[in-house]
Amino acid sequence: MRRILIAIGAALAALAVVPVAAHAESGTGRHCAVQLTQDGPRHQCFGTFRQAIAFGTDGAITSAPDATAAATDPGFQAEVEHPATRAANVLIGIEYDATNFGGNTFSVFRYAACTGPTNDVDKQIVDLDVIGWNDKVSSFRTYNNCIADHYYLTNFGGVHTGYLGSSATMPVINGTNMNDNARSIRWS
Ligand SMILES: [Ca+2]
């Protein structure tokens, strides 16, 4: 009996040293978050969408659903639009690499919700290539009173989608299919 207990103890000890993999890698993960702070952008990528949202919200939301589910989850929307969450960093949009809110994502955060009028620009990314997302966006979601305008060229050049709330696919504008063709984005 004693020999069996020793064997069980050794097995438990072996289990205890299995490393816990929960690390974030900058720039290599499938799910990225960009905080557009007043001091400049903070950009980090993670293995899971949940980790990206936790980073973007400064730890306010640590139990986000997976990225596709989040796009249509009223509970997730309520959480990211809750005043307590917005006190830290405000989620303004999620960009998806695949249609129907699928594939890799990058989530964009700023210090406040968007203001009502669309004749002002609340936040923008001049060149998506800087974060490795040129010609990738295939669907997107917006939050916190923001709407997004996707442009064909850098620095808001070429055709653009016009301000849209959320879309499971990208529109065709003047004969240009904006799917996998966005190079810069404005939120208002
Ligand atoms: Ca895509």
Output the CA 126–ligand 1 centroid distance in Å.
19
Residue 23, pLDDT score? 40
* pLDDT, tens digit (0-9, with 9 covering 90-100), for 111-162: 888 887 666 777 889 999 988 899 999 999 999 999 999 999 999 999 999 9
Res 188 pLDDT > 70: yes
Cβ(105)–Cβ(96) under 8 Å? yes
Q: How far apart are CA 99 and CA 110, in angstroms?
A: 25
Q: How many CB atoms lie within 10 A of CB 64?
A: 24
Q: How far apart are CA 43 and CA 56, in angstroms?
A: 9
Q: How far apart are CA 187 and CA 162, in angstroms?
A: 10
Strands 102-110 and 148-153, by their bridges, are unpaired
Output the CA 68–ligand 1 centroid distance in Å.
14
Structure tokens at 1: 């009996």
The amino acid occupying position 105 is: T
- Radius of gyration (Cα) for the chain, nearest Å? 20
Output the CA 167–ligand 1 centroid distance in Å.
13
Give the mean model confidence (pLDDT) for residues 67-72.
97
Which domains, and CATH codes, for the chain? 25-187 (2.60.20.10)
